[in-house]
Amino acid sequence: MKDKVAIVKCGSYAPTELYDSIKKAISLSQAIDVRGKTVLLKPNILSGAAPEKAVTTHPEFVKQCILCIKELGAEKIIVGDSPGYQSSSFAGKKSGIMQAVLEAGGEWEDFSDSVEIKNPRGALVKSFNLAPVVQKADIIVSLPKMKTHQLLYYTGAMKNLFGLVPGLQKAAFHLRFQKRALFSKMVADLNLCVKPAFAIMDAVTAMEGPGPGSGDPRHVGLVIASNNILALDITAASIMGYKPEKIPVIAEALNTKEWLENITGFETLGEKIEDVKIPDFKKIKILNDITMFRSRLPSFLYKILRKTVVKKPVINHKKCIKCNNCIEICPIAAMEYFPKESREKIVIDYKKCINCYCCHEVCPDKAIVIK
């Protein structure tokens, strides 16, 4: 029997409409058995951005998910995330998600501590240091936002669970797995480790353009849900206009054969993908892998090619507010003030830069662009 992905229309974040759409999506996509269990809901809280910026899972979306899952009989619902540079509590309060969680009768968890969790089936990572709440939960549910992503092109249900890694510990993974394919394989390993049982995507308003933090809101009007986290990501990426097999995380997850035997090994219910697909969605351009030329060209020519075609972060100094977020999150300390004494401006050492684009993600004023 094939796993199912539900695609349900939802025109706004009005509570009643949202509740009905989420409830229908859960039902269509083979509702999980949460009776008497502790459920961890993991929304996307990249930063404490206002809901209308489409940076985070919408607070009302999180609230209505809690109410729907409570109705299914969950004993306890815990919600939390770990932003890359802000504290969990600060981002939760600033985004409005913490208040929504408490109003709905859920519990807020601060992902500040970590515990080692073994991952013997991982291809690259045999253990992860994750928020202890992972061990408390009987069921983990991903609540992603439909968004583009500079490094991975698309960020969805599987990538969302990277937020289970507390705070700046995420930087170590960017340093360890600098290539896009390796980082994506790590994300697949993480999903093998935590075994999410379900995913419900906020695609009412998505983010297009230079996501995941500096893009623009785009009304899509959908709720997408599935008991197969990879199938949901394939569906959402297709709706955005991507070829899902070109998305690195999807490609690596497919290679494991853990979630699906092939890219069409599931069925969709509710709306059809072709009927809701957005032809003019502003996507991140997928570039060809130039590493194939490493062995074919002299090293100096390969370096010139890489410098020419690989996208890199560029700072708009007129927009920069010198908040230091980029300096703090850079996993390889490639950013600093110049001159240091006067702190006139932040500069990037491109000889060090690994093009992880973390600086772009955390810039609050869109002062860093990828070119």
- In the chain, the largest separation of any two C-alpha atoms, in whole Å, equals 65
60 close to 97: Cβ distance less than 8 angstroms: no
In order of 232, 318, 363, 366, the CA distances from 321 in angstroms are 38, 8, 9, 10
Cis peptide before 196 (omega within 30 of 0): no
Rounded Cα–Cα distance for residues 99 and 76 (Å): 17
* Residue carrying structure tokens 């459920």: 39
Rounded Cα–Cα distance for residues 118 and 128 (Å): 7
371 close to 285: Cβ distance less than 8 angstroms: no
pTM: 0.93
Shortest CA distance to 69 belongs to which of 162, 163, 11, 143? 143
Contacts of 343 (CB under 8 A, 6+ apart): 322, 337
Q: What is the DSSP letter of 32?
A: -
Rounded Cα–Cα distance for residues 242 and 235 (Å): 10
pLDDT tens-place values along the chain, 371 residues long: 789 999 999 999 999 999 999 999 999 998 789 999 999 999 999 999 999 999 999 999 999 999 999 999 999 999 999 987 788 899 999 999 999 999 999 999 999 899 999 999 999 999 999 999 999 999 999 999 999 999 999 999 999 999 999 987 888 899 999 999 999 999 999 999 999 999 999 999 999 999 999 999 999 999 999 999 999 999 999 999 999 999 999 999 999 999 999 999 999 999 999 999 999 999 999 876 555 566 677 877 766 666 667 789 999 999 999 999 999 999 999 999 988 877 889 999 998 999 999 999 999 889 999 98
